[in-house]
């Protein structure tokens, strides 16, 4: 059973470009979470999604950031018009459709904005 798959592992974007980060949850998991981690810091919650629904986006910046988890395919975190401050590691986690017990994390996408 493959774990949470994130791609790309590393992404370099110039200021003003768009960044698309993809996350395929573990098989059978319908809940997806996105977290951001700055160097030497803990993870900060961004958004919680279920298939075709955003459940909690209280951690998402109001502008330029969006997330989706379509019926088919991976979850996508999209950052438009990236700025240097968006440089961070972005982690996706998934959990099964039941009472929450554990979030399984992917290896992350390291975004560098130059």
Partner 1 sequence: TQLLEQSPQFLSIQEGENLTVYCNSSSVFSSLQWYRQEPGEGPVLLVTVVTGGEVKKLKRLTFQFGDARKDSSLHITAAQPGDTGLYLCAGVQAASKLTFGTGTRLQVTL
Contacts to partner 1 by CB under 8 A? 4, 31, 33, 35, 40-45, 48, 55-56, 91, 93, 95, 100-108
CA distance 62 to 29: 27
Closer CB to partner 1, 43 or 67, in the complex: 43
Q: Are 114 and 13 in contact (CB under 8 A)?
A: yes
Output the smallest distance, CB 20 to partner 1, in A. Answer: 19
Closer CB to partner 1, 15 or 44, in the complex: 44
Output the smallest distance, CB 101 to partner 1, in A. Answer: 7
**Nearest Cα residue to 108 out of 2, 11, 1, 18:** 11
Residue environment code for 51-82, b if the CB has 16+ CB neighbours within 10 A, otherwise e: eeeeeebeebeeeebebbbeeeebbbbebeeb
Output the smallest distance, CB 24 to partner 1, in A. Answer: 14
Closer CB to partner 1, 20 or 96, in the complex: 96
């Amino acid at each position: 059973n493959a774990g949470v798959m994130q791609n790309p592992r590393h992404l370099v974007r110039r200021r003003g470009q768009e960044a698309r980060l993809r996350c395929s949850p573990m098989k059978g998991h319908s809940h997806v979470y996105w977290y951001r981690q700055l160097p030497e810091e803990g993870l900060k919650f961004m958004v919680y999604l279920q298939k075709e629904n955003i459940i909690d986006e209280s951690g998402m910046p109001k502008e330029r950031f969006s997330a989706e988890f379509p019926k088919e395919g991976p979850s996508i975190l999209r950052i438009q018009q990236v700025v240097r401050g968006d440089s961070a590691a972005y982690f996706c986690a998934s959990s099964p459709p039941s009472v929450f017990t554990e979030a399984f994390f992917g290896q992350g996408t390291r975004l560098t904005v130059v």
